[in-house]
Every structure is written in C-alpha cells, then in structure tokens.
Amino acid sequence: MGRFEIPEGWVAQAYRFALDPTPAQQRALASHAGGARFAHNHMLALVTAVLDQRAAERSYGLTDADLTPSLGWSLPALRKTWNQRKSVYAPWWGANSKEAYNTGLDSLARGLDAWTTSRNGERVGKAVGFPRFKTARSRRSVRFTTGTLRVEPDRHHVSLPRVGRIKTHESTRKLARRIESESARILSATVSQDSSGRWHCSFQTLVAAKTRPAHASRSQCPVVGVDVGVKADSLLVVATPDGTEVQRIRAPKSLSAAQARLRVLQRKAARQHGPYDPAIRSRRRHSKRWAKTQARIGRSHARAAAIRRDVLHKATTTLAQQHRVVVVETLNATGMRAAGGAYKKGLNRALADAALAEVRRMLTYKAAWYGSAVVAADRFFPSSKTCSGCGGRKPNLTLAERTYVCAQCGVSIDRDRNAAINLARLGQTHMVGEQSSAGSGSVAGRGAIRETGPARAGQAGGREASTRHNPTRVDQTGTAVSQEATA
C-alpha cells in the first residue's frame, strides 16, 4: 500500500473532539459503524469461503487453472467485489455513505495484508493472525475521506457527509484557527465511540510545521531525565545529570479519585452475576446490574484516561520546548508482563505501562516540532536499580521501596528521583557523542537509542487531543464530581 507523502514544511497531526450528537445523529453514526462492520464481515466470509473452496478443489487433484478464481485482497479489488454484491446482500446499503463500507473494506485489506506479510516473514514484530470477524462489542468507528469535512466557523459544530452538522462537546478553536489562517488542511475524519459510549471525531490534518514559541525559553538544564511513576505524588519526576530535581508532576486529585472509583466499581462487578460462572466453568447470561456496572466502568476508564492525557500533554509540551535532550525509559510491554512476579501485575502496573508509552509517544513528535531530541534508554538500562551517588547496583530492588538506600556509599534518595538522574546522565553521554561526531550521525551513549533528532519536523506525526476536564462537571451517573486544577 502506497504511503501518502507529507510535503516539506508540513506535519501530520490529528485533532480530536468529543461530540454531542442528537439521538437521530447517534443512530446515523451507529448505522454507519454497523455498515462498516457488515462490509468487513461479509467480505471476510467470502475471502474465507474462496480459500476453503480452492483448498478443497486442490485436494481433489484439480490443476491451478481449473480452481475457483482467487479473490483480490487489495482495497480496490475488495471494493469492486463488494459493489457487485451489495444490492443482493445489503439492499439497505443506500442508507449510509459509501465511506461506511469503505471503512470496513479498508480494515479488512489491511488485516489481510498484515497477515500475508507476517506469514512471508516480511514484517517485523509479533506474528499477525488471520483477520477475525468484528463483533457487536468491537469498537464502532467510521472514517470519512471525501465530501464535506468541515469545522464550522462557530467553533462548536463539525460537518460530516450524510450525518450533517454535529455539535461538539468542546470548542474546536485550536483547529478552526489554523484552518482560518490556512496553516492546516483536513485530510480525513474518523468518528468513533469510546468505552464510555461517547462519540469523538478525530480530524487527520496537515499543519504547517511548528516552531518553538518565542515565549518558551530554553531552560538552564539542557539535558534531563524523566521517570514515569506509578504513585499519585510523582507521575513524572524530572532531574538533571548533576542531581537537581527540576520538576515533579503530581496526579491531580481528580485522577486519583477516578482511579479509586474504578477500583470500587471493578470489585463491585466481581461480586455481581457476570457472564462467566466460575463454579461450573462456563458462560451464562449476565445480570442487568452487572451490565450496568460495566457501563459505569467504561465511563470511569474514559474519564481517567482523559484527565491523564491532559496532564501528560501539558507536561510533555513543556519538556520538549525547554530542554535540548530528554531521556525516557523504554518499555518492552510484552516482555515486562511475561516476566517478573506479582508486583508487576495489576492495575497500577498497567497504568504505569500505558503512561510511559504515552509520554514517549508524545515527546517523540513534540521534540520534532520544537527541535529537541528524545533519547530512549534501552530496556535493560537499570535506571531504578543503579545508585546515582556511586554507580553501585541493587539488583533486587522492589517496587515497594520508595527510597533508594545505597549500602556502598550510604546515600538515601527518593526512588523516582534517583531513576531520573540516571536517565539524565545517559542523555549527557548522548550529547557528548553528538558533539564529537559533529552532527554526522549520532553516537549514542551506552544503552541509549536515539529517538528523534532535532529539526526533522517534516516527519513528525502527532496528535493534539483536547478533551478537557472541566473544574466541576456532573458526570453521567448524576453525581457531581469536583476537581482541582492540574498540579
């Protein structure tokens, strides 16, 4: 599949807005997402049937020329076959925009391509399985690539083909301003429903390359290390190689509250009549109350994620603007969960993994915007287990130990700060390497992987989410939730 080339001086960026569709629009969106699912499943069934038929015919000894003709797996080929079949198998197809079916066919084409390349060994990473049918529980989503895709000038509506003008839950000014000044162009729009049931519209756009704003002065510390933590009092700890703690970002109370609420709800769901009966080890019909709790869990998840994303966006923007080199840890998600004892499991671990991945993703594209560099410590770099005082190691440090006490030099230091200092020192070696090689390729220090170089803005792909959390709002269960401003 040919990739779209981004013109010089522009960057790809997504803008995501929560929507407040009317009930009729909600039905239209659900219908479009359903159309996408139908087209995907219908064509997947056909692809499988043709594969099986050909395999059976081959087993009877038919020559390749006599076999049932194979089906094209590319998007244009799938689309052609779908168009020939739709009036028979989906006589209602006219109810939705053709983009709905295209969404389903596109995901199928990608899935088949991923499976083929993975099977032929042309694809790095984990083996990809054969595409599966989408179920009613699959994420509802539809992508529009043609027709009216607009952010309305009133900054509170978006326009989509067929569905029309939908009210947004938040202001669209960030994107609207850029479109008005002709520094952004909309390529496509994806509308999808999150676990809380809310619909979002994400515009994929091209924006004129960003530069570091004049007011964002470079900090005194060119190199910093960032430790991404689990505890509420140290979501992010930023330190310099000489041991100064530059910044410590705490989780806002609203985030701790949302997470606490999530735990309560999950315990509650466990006591209810769920879809699995442990006594006889089989599926059963779940109770209405269980389903209700699940819906509340979904909303809590979405809310916690929105708050966390907001905090991390603010923090990573500042980091990318103020420092020349930012060092973060790398996480090998599969490896980390597979190995290690009980302390690596559970909600906290999952949250920390997600936060680290998010921080690294955000920093990577923002660093490219603002001309700084991100260095990722390789996954064996023992940032927490090394003493920042003498360089000694403590291999069996547990997550419960919040303070690093060194047996060799006697230093006693906050665990996260210790890790951040070690990471910052890794960045220092990186910078020295860069200067000695005078810009011609990077000589990263031991254990470092260079993630982004400065000023390669043309290749950055980022996304600016703007799902705000208001100081006080009433959540969907009717309880007033009060929040404090971001620490």
The site for Zn ion (CB under 5 A) is made up of: 387, 389-390, 392, 406, 408-409, 411
Q: What is the CA radius of gyration of the chain?
A: 26
CB of 448 to Zn ion, least distance (A): 22
CB closer to Zn ion out of 150 and 394: 394
CB of 409 to Zn ion, least distance (A): 3
Between CA 322 and CA 332 the distance in angstroms is 28
CB closer to Zn ion out of 254 and 383: 383
Residue 227 is a catalytic residue: yes
CB closer to Zn ion out of 392 and 433: 392
CB closer to Zn ion out of 47 and 387: 387
CB of 403 to Zn ion, least distance (A): 13
Residue 329 is a catalytic residue: yes
- Which pairing describes strands 448-452 and 373-377: parallel, antiparallel, or unpaired? antiparallel
CB of 422 to Zn ion, least distance (A): 12
Catalytic residue, chosen from 99, 106, 194, 227, is: 227
CB of 389 to Zn ion, least distance (A): 4
475-480: long-range contacts (C-beta < 8 A, 24 or more apart)?
Answer: 475/299, 475/303, 476/196, 476/299, 477/296, 477/299
- Helix, strand, coil tally for the chain in percent (to 5): 40, 20, 40
Contact between 420 and 240 (Cβ < 8 Å): no
Catalytic residue, chosen from 99, 329, 353, 451, is: 329
Q: How many CB atoms lie within 10 A of CB 188?
A: 15
At 283, which helix (H) or strand (E)?
A: strand 282-283
Contact between 200 and 194 (Cβ < 8 Å): yes
Q: Show the tokens assigned to 159.
A: 């326009």
CB of 237 to Zn ion, least distance (A): 19
At position 471, the amino acid (one-letter code) is P
> How many Å from the N-terminal Cα to the C-terminal Cα in the chain?
45
Name the 3-class secondary structure at 363. helix
CB closer to Zn ion out of 347 and 409: 409
At 347, which helix (H) or strand (E)?
A: helix 346-370
CB closer to Zn ion out of 62 and 390: 390
Residue 416 is a catalytic residue: yes
CB closer to Zn ion out of 77 and 390: 390
Catalytic residue, chosen from 194, 416, 434, 451, is: 416
Between CA 20 and CA 14 the distance in angstroms is 19
Between CA 227 and CA 415 the distance in angstroms is 10
For the CA atoms of 164, 169, 170, 175, the dihedral, rounded to the nearest 10 degrees, stands at -20
DSSP annotation of 94 reads G
CB of 328 to Zn ion, least distance (A): 23
Question: Catalytic positions, please?
Answer: 227, 329, 416
